[in-house]
Copies of this chain bind each other. A is one copy, B any other.
Amino acid sequence: MSRSINLAVIPGDGIGQEVVAQGLKVLNAALPQDVKLETKEYDFGAKRYHATGETLTDADLDALKQHDAILLGAIGDPSVPSGVLERGFLLKLRFAFDHHVNLRPSKLLPGVGTPLAGQPEIDFVVVREGTEGPYTGNGGTIRKGTPHAVATEVSLNTAFGIERVVRDAYARAQARPRKKLALVHKNNVLVHAGHLWTDIFNKVGEEFPDVTTEYMHVDAATIYLVTQPERFDVIVTDNLFGDIITDLAAAISGGIGVAASGNINPSGEFPSMFEPVHGSAPDIAGQGKADPSATVLSVALLLRHLGYEAEAARIEDAVTADLAERDGTARTTNQIGDALAVRVAG
């Protein structure tokens, strides 16, 4: 059997460059001999934006479409106005490739620090909707710059979009030992979207009688995340609430240095994209200070998505072992990447 992976690599801005290099190093170490890895690097990000004014063109999308998956470092730089690269590149790509399952696992690994007292057991995954909600860009501003300005943001929610991500989350919950699924929304205030989510959540649940469910308002969820994080198994939520609670989830389970994510198109119609939850961190860029673990764990998600389960698990084990043995000695981005590659290959 001859196998191959045709990967699009987008290092992006700031520490994106450094961490993606380590991600690729570990990917190479993990792949069996018979798998042919082809990579093509793309130069999206602040530099290209300044040079050309482009963030992501139709031709870019056509090129990216040819790949089996995308590995992204981070996009964003203070020299670009807030929102330009986020909306023009990252969200554009998530929407264009219909990445409706934004998968964000949170696991507090042994030896890893948490701001919470008492080292709680944390092992859950957030399934964040990725193509709807308040992220659609729908809205506008009138009378900008005057005392009579009005700005709107419209959250768009469809039964189609909710049902598919909710079903995905149920299936993930069913496949886990605890089989628990929590819906997080704010259906007592955002009654239109909230009731649509809740109704569909309940209806789809009938197909998964062995999954235990609960509903929780997003404000209450932030409380439980810090007081009872062991309560969670799988969480499904909308795009904006998912954005907020996954940063909190990352913070309590080792920090954004180890938080991985996948922007998944489950049908495979378009390539899925894998990226660390952290940003481009321009303040520490180019200094070898960034922890590549989040990117390496994103590579594991990528491999699992492409069907390389054993290789994904080997990478996760390597990161777990590396974190457990950290003794406070500072290592460079490159050194951590090397250590992980050695473990994975060994």
Chain A interface (Cβ < 8 Å from any Cβ of B): 76, 82-83, 86-87, 91, 114-118, 134-135, 137, 139-141, 143-160, 163, 186-196, 198-199, 218-220, 222-223, 226-227, 240, 243-248, 250-252, 255-256
Task: Please give me the residue from chain B that is nearest to A220 by CB atom.
Answer: B247
Let me know if A152 and B150 touch, CB within 8 A. no
Closest 8 CB pairs of A and B: A219-B247, A149-B159, A222-B248, A153-B155, A83-B191, A151-B196, A86-B188, A223-B251
**Please, which residues of chain B bring their CB within 8 A of the CB of A255?**
227
Task: Please give me the residue from chain B that is nearest to A76 by CB atom.
Answer: B188
**Please, which residues of chain B bring their CB within 8 A of the CB of A134?**
134, 153, 155, 189-190
Q: List 26 A-B contacts (CB under 8 A).
A: A82-B187, A83-B188, A87-B189, A87-B191, A115-B226, A115-B227, A116-B117, A117-B117, A134-B134, A134-B153, A134-B155, A134-B190, A141-B196, A147-B160, A149-B158, A150-B158, A152-B156, A152-B157, A153-B155, A153-B193, A154-B155, A189-B240, A218-B243, A218-B244, A222-B222, A222-B245
Let me know if A189 and B86 touch, CB within 8 A. yes
Copies in the complex: 2
Task: Please give me the residue from chain B that is nearest to A198 by CB atom.
Answer: B82
Let me know if A247 and B227 touch, CB within 8 A. no
Given contacts A222-B251, A223-B250, A223-B256, contact A190 B153 (CB under 8 A): yes
Q: A154-B154, A219-B243 are in contact. List 4 more A-B contacts (CB 8 A).
A: A141-B195, A141-B196, A148-B158, A152-B157
Expressed in whole angstroms, the Cα–Cα distance for A116 and B146 within the complex equals 43
Expressed in whole angstroms, the Cα–Cα distance for A116 and B248 within the complex equals 13
Expressed in whole angstroms, the Cα–Cα distance for A188 and B227 within the complex equals 30
**Please, which residues of chain B bring their CB within 8 A of the CB of A198?**
82
Let me know if B244 and A226 touch, CB within 8 A. no
Task: Please give me the residue from chain B that is nearest to A87 by CB atom.
Answer: B191
**Please, which residues of chain B bring their CB within 8 A of the CB of A163?**
147
Expressed in whole angstroms, the Cα–Cα distance for A147 and B198 within the complex equals 14
Expressed in whole angstroms, the Cα–Cα distance for A256 and B137 within the complex equals 35
**Please, which residues of chain B bring their CB within 8 A of the CB of A115?**
116-117, 226-227
**Please, which residues of chain B bring their CB within 8 A of the CB of A155?**
134, 139, 152-155
Let me know if A152 and B192 touch, CB within 8 A. yes
Expressed in whole angstroms, the Cα–Cα distance for A115 and B118 within the complex equals 8
